[in-house]
Amino acid sequence: MMTPITLLEKRRIVLGVTGSIAAYKAADLASKLTQAGALVDVIMTDAAQRFIAPLTFQALTGRAVYTDLWRMDASAGLPTHIAHVGLAEGAAALLIAPASADAIARIAHGFASDLLSITALAARCPVVIAPAMDGSMYENEAVQTNLALLRQRGVLVIEPEEGRFASGLTGRGRLPETAALISALRYALGRSGALSKRRIIVTAGGTREAIDPVRYLTNRSSGKQGYALAHACLDAGADVVLITAARGLEAPFGAQIVSVDSAKQMHDAVLSAAAGADALIMAAAVADFRPASAAEQKIKKLEQADAPTLILERTPDILTAVHDRRQITGYPRVVVGFAAESRNIREYARDKLERKGLDLIVANDITASDAGFDTDTNRATIYDRGGGEEFLGLTSKARISEAIIARVAALLAEKG
C-alpha cells in the first residue's frame, strides 16, 4: 500500500511504457503512482503491447491508455483533442519506464513517428527515463551516446541495476524497483520547490554501540520517519545529506547518503556536515549509553566464569554539540529535534527544546501501538519556541514529514 504524497496528488504523470520484458513491472509502477494520488496517463508503444495489455494499465489507473497516434479521441478529457500535443500539455512529468534502446534512440534524435516520441518532443515538463535492456545492449556506445545526449538536455536518466536478465545472462540493465523509480520521479518533480538550493541534513535510524565485534546495543528505531523526512525535503527541492544508521531502507533518490553505526560516528558526521547547512533535522534515535569499552575480540562464553557485566558510559549528545557550535557559527540556521516519550510528553518535549537550543521539537507518544517505532503511521505534536503547538493526529510518516518540512521552510524564509 502506498500512502498519498502531496507532490504527486492530482498531478498528471505521463507514463511511457516501451518494449522490454520489464514492461510488466510498469504495471506495479502505474498502480503505486495512482495510489500515491497521481493521475497516470499511460502511453504504450507497439512493442510494449506485445509484452503487456493496455487493459492492465487501464484497470490499474482508471484512465484511458494511449496506444495509437492516429486515433482522435477527445473522450479522455485532454486539454486538446489532438492527443500528441494534449498528453504533454499540462503534464507534471513524463516518465518512461522501462525505456528500450529503440525508444531512447528515437527520443534522443527527435523522431516524431509514434505517440511516445511525439509526446517527448512536445513535453515542457521534467522528463525521466529508466533504461532497461540486456547488459551488452546497455553498454553499447550507441545507447550510451544517446543517453549522454538526453542528460545534456536535462533529462533525468535513472541508472539501471545489475543483476540477472531474462536471457539468463547477468550485467547492468535491469529496471530498478518501483520505489526507486518513484523516488527519482519525486526528485525531478521537486527541484523547483520551496527549499530549492537549501542544504538540509537529516539523521535516521537507531545507532549501534559495539559490545564486541559481533554484538551491539541498539534500539527499536527503524529509520522510517527519518527517510520520510529526507523524501519530503527532496520533494521540496532541497539538497539532502542523509546521515543514517538504519538498515534495509531504500535510499531516497538524489540524497547524499552517509552510513554510520555508532552515536560517536553520527556525532562526527553531523558536525562535519553542519557547517553551512540550512537545517538539521535530528530524527535519529541516538543511543544515550554505550559499553564503556568494546572488546576487540569476540567475548567467549567458555572464557567467562559468569556472564559478563556491561559497564555503560554516556554518548556525546549531538544536539547539544550542534547548539554550542551554532552559537559561534550561526549554522545550521534551523535545528529540529525529536522526542519519543512514554509520559509527560509536553513537559519533556518543551524541556528538550530549551535545553538543546532547538527551533522546533516533534514529540510522539511511544506507548501508542499505531505510532512510534517501525510503524508507517505516527501521531506527533510540533512544539515551537514561541509556545505554539501543532497537533498532527494519526497520519502517515510521509504526511508528518511534509508538515515538519513546511515549518522548516517557513522558518528559513523568515530568516531570509
Give the span between the Cα atoms of 159 and 304, in whole angstroms.
Answer: 51
Q: Which is nearer to ligand CTP, 78 or 241 (CB)?
A: 241
**Alpha-carbon torsion (118, 121, 126, 128), positive or negative:** positive
Does residue 280 belong to the site contacting ligand CTP (CB under 6 A)? no
Which residue of 115, 233, 339, 345 would you call a contact of ligand CTP, by CB under 6 A? 339
Residues of this chain, 19-48, that bind ligand CTP according to CB under 6 A: none
Does residue 127 belong to the site contacting ligand CTP (CB under 6 A)? no
Could you give the angle at which helices 178-190 and 224-235 cross, rounded to 10 degrees? 40
Does residue 284 belong to the site contacting ligand CTP (CB under 6 A)? yes
Q: Which position has the grid cell 503505486?
A: 32
Q: C-beta of 315: minimal distance to ligand CTP in Å?
A: 5
Does residue 263 belong to the site contacting ligand CTP (CB under 6 A)? yes
Does residue 347 belong to the site contacting ligand CTP (CB under 6 A)? no
Which residue of 9, 288, 313, 347 would you call a contact of ligand CTP, by CB under 6 A? 288
Q: C-beta of 287: minimal distance to ligand CTP in Å?
A: 7
Does residue 107 belong to the site contacting ligand CTP (CB under 6 A)? no
Which residue of 286, 353, 408, 411 would you call a contact of ligand CTP, by CB under 6 A? 286
- What does residue 382 show for φ and ψ, rounded to 5 degrees? -100, 120
Does residue 338 belong to the site contacting ligand CTP (CB under 6 A)? yes
Does residue 408 belong to the site contacting ligand CTP (CB under 6 A)? no
Q: Which is nearer to ligand CTP, 101 or 287 (CB)?
A: 287
Give the span between the Cα atoms of 256 and 254, in whole angstroms.
Answer: 7
Q: Assess contact for 14 and 83: CB atoms under 8 A.
A: no
Q: C-beta of 274: minimal distance to ligand CTP in Å?
A: 12
Give the span between the Cα atoms of 146 and 71, in whole angstroms.
Answer: 30
Look at residues 306, 258, 309, 316 and name the one whose alpha carbon lies nearest to residue 286.
316
Interacting span for ligand CTP (CB under 6 A) from 17-25, 73-81, 282-290, 375-383:
282-290
Which residues sit opposite 346 in a β-bridge? none
Task: Cell numbers for 74, please give them.
Answer: 477527445
Give the span between the Cα atoms of 148 and 137, in whole angstroms.
Answer: 15
Active-site annotation holds for 140: no
| Longest CA pairwise span in the chain (Å) | 84
Burial 258-291 (b: 16+ CB within 10 A, else e): bebebbbbbbbbbeebbeebbbbbbbbbbbeebb
According to DSSP, residue 46 is labeled: T
Q: C-beta of 352: minimal distance to ligand CTP in Å?
A: 5
Does residue 319 belong to the site contacting ligand CTP (CB under 6 A)? yes
Does residue 337 belong to the site contacting ligand CTP (CB under 6 A)? yes
Q: Which of 146, 219, 364, 378 is catalytic?
A: 219
Q: Which residues contact ligand CTP by CB under 6 A?
A: 263, 282, 284, 286, 288, 315, 317-319, 337-340, 352
Task: Cite the active site residues.
Answer: 219
